[in-house]
Amino acid sequence: MCHVVVNPPAIVLESASKRYGSATVVHDLSFTVERGEIVGFLGPNGAGKTTTMRMIAGFTAATSGRVVVGGHDMAVDNVAAARSIGYLPERPPLYETLGVASFLRFVAKAKSIARGDIPGEIERVAAACRLEDVMRREIYKLSRGYRQRVGLAQALLGRPEVLLLDEPTAGLDPGQLHETREVIRAFGRDHAVLLSTHILAEATVLCRRVAIINRGRLLAIDSPTGLERAMEHTSRVALEVRAPAPGLAEVLAGVKGVRNVDIRPGGPGNVLAIDCRIDAEDGVEAAIARAVAGRFDLHRLERHHPTLENVFLHYVSDDGAPDDSA
């Protein structure tokens, strides 16, 4: 599918910061989300994901910087901006004593959906979120998965241009997880979706781009594969060689691109497990194989590509000061 972007991005953050007293929760955050893309917002707990979501949704105002949603500056006209936003907070905001249908009707009215369109809209989101069976039930009687999906349905009402989802799949079972991701994926084809999660697999399958934040700072933003590629210089080669292997460490250290060699006794049998951290882009594993194969009994050689998980841990742990945010 090809999208020609003529409008400004659906979400724009320009050096947005949020301070509470002397504590800076979000620090100088800048990024954009275009229509037709799903951007994953990745970070450990307490990284500032929820605060950022709240700034974009208009629940809290940025202390400095600019947040523009759907062309409306949040500081100037957040009500106009709110018309283009569907927002599912971390804790689904539900009126416990209302039935699902009357709750959705309230949100539809508050979103100024035309009176005649409301029943159709409710039917559409209920079908998308598989809520048909619980429409007449009071919300306090619903299971966690249903509550989460009522929250999502509420956000989808009125087909908002921008969808903000704060951990939308928390509390879902695997079946629901799959369905919910499909709903988000379908919606993301022609809307802007920003989705926060700490599940890396989710970001990999759903998102075109991933933003990694920690301690309120944006550490990286790129496609999942782009982030992995950027990390490739720190990827690893693991091999197993029959012991004893005198001089192996020297041989490996001599191969161009190998930075660091770690030799440990391996698993069953008389085997050594070696872990090499390598620098170079390509072909290092072949060079290692050539250097080792002639002189030693090589059992196994494997190149580990960085997963998004490694990327994430890399960024989050290399982030300077010791972790005090737990």
* Interface positions with other proteins (CB under 8 A): 54, 57-61, 78-80, 82-83, 85, 87, 89, 91-98, 102, 106-107, 109-112, 138, 154
In contact, 260 and 276? CB cutoff 8 Å? yes
What is the distance between the alpha carbons of residues 2 and 24, in angstroms, rounded to a whole number?
Answer: 39
What is the distance between the alpha carbons of residues 270 and 60, in angstroms, rounded to a whole number?
Answer: 62
Identify which of residues 58 and 188 has a Cβ nearer to other proteins in the complex: 58
Identify which of residues 139 and 301 has a Cβ nearer to other proteins in the complex: 139
- Shortest distance in whole angstroms from residue 106 CB to other proteins: 4
On the 0-12 / 13-18 / 19+ scale of CB atoms within 10 A, 232 is middle
Identify which of residues 120 and 247 has a Cβ nearer to other proteins in the complex: 120
- Shortest distance in whole angstroms from residue 170 CB to other proteins: 14
- Shortest distance in whole angstroms from residue 301 CB to other proteins: 53
Identify which of residues 93 and 226 has a Cβ nearer to other proteins in the complex: 93
- Shortest distance in whole angstroms from residue 98 CB to other proteins: 6
- Shortest distance in whole angstroms from residue 114 CB to other proteins: 10
Identify which of residues 88 and 251 has a Cβ nearer to other proteins in the complex: 88
- Shortest distance in whole angstroms from residue 314 CB to other proteins: 33
CB-based burial, 284-318: b 16+ in 10 Å, e otherwise:
bbebbeebbeeebebeebebeebbbebbbebbbee
Identify which of residues 106 and 246 has a Cβ nearer to other proteins in the complex: 106
- Shortest distance in whole angstroms from residue 97 CB to other proteins: 4
Type and span of the H or E element at 163:
strand 162-166
| Integer angstrom CA distances of residue 216 from 19, 160, 185, 208 | 10, 27, 27, 22
- Shortest distance in whole angstroms from residue 231 CB to other proteins: 36
Neighbours of 277 (CB within 10 A): 15
| Integer angstrom CA distances of residue 287 from 244, 256, 294, 314 | 21, 8, 12, 26
Identify which of residues 61 and 253 has a Cβ nearer to other proteins in the complex: 61
Identify which of residues 106 and 244 has a Cβ nearer to other proteins in the complex: 106
What is the distance between the alpha carbons of residues 67 and 26, in angstroms, rounded to a whole number?
Answer: 13
| 165 phi-psi bin (left φ>0, alpha ψ -120 to 50, beta other) | beta
In contact, 310 and 276? CB cutoff 8 Å? no
Angle, alpha carbons 131-208-232 (nearest 5°): 135
